[in-house]
Amino acid sequence: MRVGRPPFKSGHVDGLEGPGREKERLRAILRTLSGDIPVAEACEELSLSRTHFNDLRTRALQSALDGLIPQVSGRKRKVLEVEPGEVERLRHENLYLRDELDIARVRTELALVMPHVLREPVSPGGKGSARAGKSSRRSGKRRSSTTRDCASWRGPRVRVRSRGGAD
C-alpha cells in the first residue's frame, strides 16, 4: 500500500487555464496514456476518429516536450535600427568630446600648478582698469584659482620681458 496522497492523474488539467473543450481533450489523452481507458473509448467520448485522436495526442505531447526545452532567461534583446551615417557621426562626436575632456584636464592642472598664468591681462593705458595708477609690483596676496577661472581660460597669457640681454 502506498503512503501519501493519491495521484491526480488527469485531475491536473482542472487547474490549467483554457477552454473547456480543449481541457476535456487533454484529460482524455492523459487517461489513455495512463492506461485508465482504451483509445477507442476516448475517441467515442470526444466524437473523434482514431486518426484524428492520434494526431491530437502527438501534437499535445510535442507541445509538452517543446515547453520543457530550456530557454534563454530574461527579455529578448531589442534590435535598434541605426542610420548608416549616424554611427560615423557619433564616432566623430566621441573623439571631439574626448579631446575636449583632455583640454579641460590640462586647464585644471594649469590652474592648480600655475594660477598666475590664468589671470586676466591688464588692459593697456589703464582705461577702465581697476589697477590704473597702481604700482606694477604684485601685492603680497595671491589670488586663488577657481573653477570659474578655468572655464573662461582661452589660452596662456604670458608676458615676456627681456633681462637686459641682446634679443
pTM for this prediction:
0.42
Residues 96 and 58 placed together within one structural domain of the fold: no
- Average confidence score pLDDT of the chain: 78
Residues 62 and 92 placed together within one structural domain of the fold: no
Q: Write out the residue range of the structural domain in which residue 62 sits.
A: 10-66
Q: What is the tens place of the pLDDT at every residue in 95-113?
A: 999 999 999 999 899 888 8
What pLDDT is attached to residue 148? 47
Number of domains forming the structure of the chain: 2
Flag whether 74 is in a domain. no
Flag whether 129 is in a domain. no
Residues 52 and 92 placed together within one structural domain of the fold: no
pLDDT of residue 67 exceeding 50: yes
- Asked if 150 and 108 count as a contact pair (C-beta separation under 8 A), the reply is yes
Residues 96 and 57 placed together within one structural domain of the fold: no
Q: What is the tens place of the pLDDT at every residue in 112-163?
A: 888 877 666 666 665 554 554 455 555 544 554 444 445 555 555 555 454 5
The residue whose grid cell reads 507541445 is 63
Flag whether 22 is in a domain. yes
Residues 15 and 59 placed together within one structural domain of the fold: yes
What pLDDT is attached to residue 99? 96
Share of the chain above pLDDT 90, in %: 35
Residue 140 cell numbers, joined: 603680497
What pLDDT is attached to residue 137? 52
Flag whether 21 is in a domain. yes
CA separation (Å) from 15 to 11, 36, 72, 130? 8, 20, 27, 88
Helix (H, G, I), strand (E, B) or coil at 99: helix
